[in-house]
Chains A and B, each alone.
Chain A
């Protein structure tokens, strides 16, 4: 079956090279695993993550602040109109103003409620009266109006909200005196549409929107929801707290945004001619642009690809990629491939070319035995090499710690197995060319050339693969991934914990076996120039 003498001879002839390459490989592996384990790779990822989360949060705050501000202005204006309408109705029926006002407030509020609900439905038809979004929309306006409540109507309905956050209560919504004066003179509607009233509303919205936003965002249930959202970046509640989004910071940010927005909007509107037909459209346009500009984040101002890329980086298992995709799939393959090319050539083609195979074959060793023994030597020596890298990588992982590395022993074993299978498949090819050709230069050129090509293609392909964040990914280079068997070593699948790598491993195994078998058959049947 096997020739012990030939196996020994192959060991003696190739043992030194095996030892040197294996040592170098294990040394390199240890360096990569230990250095990148201690090199604070996680800190980098954490920093990127923090940046992304901060940016996203800030955008949220800015966008919402403007949103609340606009909504409050709109709501208050609507409320004014409703109030004026109801008040005039009630006054027409006669009665004491003191008693009429609370009734008018109540009916105007209920009208406003349905108005805002319809507005919410226009945004998203799936909202219901009880949905958080509809409530929020209503709430933001109601808190700004802060209608009078209590026995003597002297306190606002939501005064508690303001005081609980240490803010002063926004004054009376309607100045009773002014209201009375305008009501008497019959120009209440005109008064409500006046710039004076508008600027009052704007001031109030500016003041209330940031308080409402900050209060809203720091309410326990909203914080919980936010953290839930942030889970895709792997952010815990402690982490969220450490980012420092407290009531005051949020309020500050929101207030700043609203001030900016208001100033810029005023500035833009001044330039517009309000007699034009499409005035309203233009105003809406300006508002969207401004909202976009002010609240545009680092992420949303970059092209979508870049945004995804940053998100990807935040989610990357960098250590797994360095060890799996960079070392075991590329850098760590080079030395074993060189060893494999040289040895597979030495085992058959080299000996046929030089003629030393004559001594083996003239000693009544069957060709079948020769080829089997040499194949066994090649496979076993590669297996031995990767057995040692497995031991090395497990020791290194133990030193680095599974917690820090974020890869398991199982994944490390799979990386080693994958690298071995790649070598097995390529050695099948080289063994085949070694058996096929009588000249070792030809066997080397074709078998070795294709093997090195596979490695180079995998390197180029890496830049087009999923490992590289979308922003710097060169899609054209992804083509190379289809031109190399190393693609069948799916390190990403191993890191992600999917099972795709299994069938790819099976293909590598089959490719290797085919190479060895076809090579063996050829060697047994061909003419040997010995």
Chain B
């Protein structure tokens, strides 16, 4: 069952800025990443989903309700962590969280307190003097305290140190494990790679590709890079049956692509060679998207 569904969603700000024809379906319990460079349209998409901006054309629905028309109803189901962390003009984190609880109609703060403990957050601190990490945590508590079934996070880890980022992502993963639908944007591939079920790549306002992470992780073809001690070995191996995808003769290096189940055959063959090293080249989200973007540019060049 789809929780968020956008159909040809377009918000045209003119001069090729905005988002164009976004088709995206996020199912119940799914965690979907949204990746793209700065200014590629991630935040615009998220604002459309929340109903803060009115689409130029196309629709976006949350639980079957169009966002713009039913913004105040759909946001009840959503916990939102905005990209820009700016709190209302209140004194401390406690003030803010209490005020937010009042907005959300929460009288029982136990869950909020659990979250605060888990995040090791001291909410008594002055909001203005909070570090970026503390602000981010406070914003996350505010988004999670009502225990909403949908989470929308706009670049939640930007500006956090690596340790904090891991802790942060752990909590999000936990929420995902509880069965929440999560839509998270980022411009960092790695953090989405490990957590998301699917990752959408947006570039210049267009969704270029939606990668299925389980398919990426369990690819049937693997690539190995091998360096030989001598030029002889290098030349001899080049004549073997393997599909060579890259040659770097000066280093006596070869990159081969073989089906995953045939890795044993490769090792057997290599027994007769003097190998300096052999390593598997991981196929990351980044490589995947780079390849796609390169192809895209190639296509454009060909058209021209």
Contact = CB atoms under 8 A, between A and B. Distances in A.
Contacts of A5: 99, 102-103
Contacts of B91: 12
A360 interface: yes
B269 interface: no
Nearest to B96: A359
Q: Interface residue tally of chain B, by bracket?
A: 20 to 34
A355 B86 contact: yes
A483 interface: no
Nearest to B99: A9
B89 A527 contact: no
Contacts, number: 85
A288 interface: no
Interface stretch (B23-31, B72-80, B234-242, B282-290): B72-80
Secondary structure class of chain A's binding surface, majority of residues: helix
B100 A359 contact: yes
A384 interface: no
Contacts of A527: 47, 52-54
B4 interface: no
B52 A365 contact: no
A529 B76 CA distance: 19
Contacts of B95: 12
B88 A9 contact: yes
A5 B71 CA distance: 19
B132 to A, nearest CB: 14
A359 B52 contact: no
Question: Which of A4, A9, A14, A364 has the largest count of B CB atoms less than 10 A from its CB?
Answer: A364
B82 A13 contact: no
Contacts of B142: 359
A257 interface: no
A525 B52 CA distance: 10
A366 interface: yes
Contacts of B89: 12-14, 346, 350, 356
A5 to B, nearest CB: 4
A529 B47 contact: yes
B87 A356 contact: yes
Interface in B48-104: 50, 52-54, 71-73, 75-76, 78-80, 82-91, 95, 99-100, 102-104
Contact of B75 (A3, A362, A525, A529): A362
Interface string A1-20: 00111101100111000000
B47 A528 contact: yes
A365 to B, nearest CB: 6
A5 B96 CA distance: 11
B99 A8 contact: yes
Nearest to A366: B72
Contacts of A209: none
A360 B103 contact: yes
A68 B114 CA distance: 108
B117 to A, nearest CB: 22
Contact of A359 (B53, B71, B83, B88): B88
Given A8-B99, A13-B89, A530-B52, A365 B84 contact: no
B103 A351 contact: no
A13 B71 contact: no
Question: Which of A9, A12, A358 has the largest count of B CB atoms less than 10 A from its CB?
Answer: A358
Contacts of B76: 364
A13 B90 contact: yes
Contacts of A351: 88
A530 B102 contact: no
A354 B104 CA distance: 21
B198 to A, nearest CB: 24
A126 interface: no
Given A8-B102, A364-B75, A529-B47, 5 more contacts: A3-B103, A8-B99, A355-B86, A356-B89, A362-B50
Interface of A: 3-6, 8-9, 12-14, 346, 350-351, 354-356, 358-367, 525, 527-530
12 contacts: A4-B102, A12-B95, A354-B84, A354-B86, A355-B83, A359-B87, A359-B100, A359-B142, A363-B104, A367-B71, A527-B54, A530-B47
Task: In the A-B complex, list the 5 residue pairs whose CB atoms are closest, starting with the nearest.
Answer: A363-B103, A13-B89, A354-B86, A527-B53, A5-B102
